[in-house]
Amino acid sequence: MATYDSSDPREWPLFGMRKTFISEVAPPQEHAGPAWWFAFHRNRLLVEVVEDVVRVPYRERVEELGVTVVQRHYLGRYDGVPCHAVDLADEALPEGMGFKDLRQVYGLLEEDLFVLGGRAVQIVEWDRTHQFCGRCGSQTESKEKERAKICPKCGLHCFPRLSPAIIVAVERGDKILLARSSHFPRGLFSVLAGFVEPGETIEECVVREVKEEVGVTVGNIRYFGSQPWPFPNSLMIGFTAEYLSGELELDPTEIAEAGWFRADALPNIPGRISIAGRLIKWFQEKSQAAR
């Protein structure tokens, strides 16, 4: 639960919601007034587009949107207002609305609502893909007071999936290690990232991923911050690290280009709304302070 209501941005957490969100499973029995409706068709968010401004629908009832609902999930209360995740049956568009991939509204929606949209799409996709037990094949049931699916036959419990991944800014003197993944647009560089493997600590993952992707060894690993990343269900855990040894030797299946860059000569980088962009911004600010 986030409790950061200060209007002073200096008091906000690095990666957290600006207003209070209380996660809940059971919807309130009585509620008068509008709610936030995060409605998805094939993981594309239904939004209102008014003079190029993108908005999440804010209505008392989802039926007011003129859509066909397959399933709905109560998420909790954002600044006291109920929030719902909704799986839609078809792509029938109400007037003045459109479907957007969540990446398309990245930076267009208010940041808190983007975070809640990321939470919502993961709940919708989890429900959609866990209708049957992965162990015995029986149809699952939703638990009433817990975000879980249970198999009535064999008792298997399935909770929403979360995939931890590290992301790390590696420093070498006055330079930072940036790389371009093979699936990035040409010219876009970022810090290194990778998924944590079973039986591995997140610090071990930092060392392994950097070594595997670019061939160098790092140390002095320090925690930076974390950020939920719903593409599809990651939790990005950010670190800084220092170069110890080795020369750049790229894994061509993962990395198209990599290099060491000074703060005043960076290539095209991600926006600051992402933890990658904030790690790079941290390096820039640190470099400026050292001058």
**pLDDT tens readout for residues 38-89:** 999 999 999 998 877 899 999 999 989 989 999 999 999 999 999 999 999 9
**pLDDT tens readout for residues 155-178:** 999 999 999 999 999 999 999 999
Cβ-Cβ contacts under 8 Å for 198 (sequence gap 6 or more): none
Residue 115 structure tokens: 């975070």
Residue 7, helix vs strand vs coil: coil
Residue 177 structure tokens: 């290690």
**Amino acid residing at 59:** R
pLDDT band for position 2 (cuts 50, 70, 90): very low
pTM of the model: 0.86
Q: Are 184 and 190 in contact (CB under 8 A)?
A: yes
Ordered by where they begin, the domains of the chain are 9-128 (3.90.79), 130-160 (no CATH), 163-290 (3.90.79.10)
Does residue 208 or residue 31 have the better pLDDT?
208
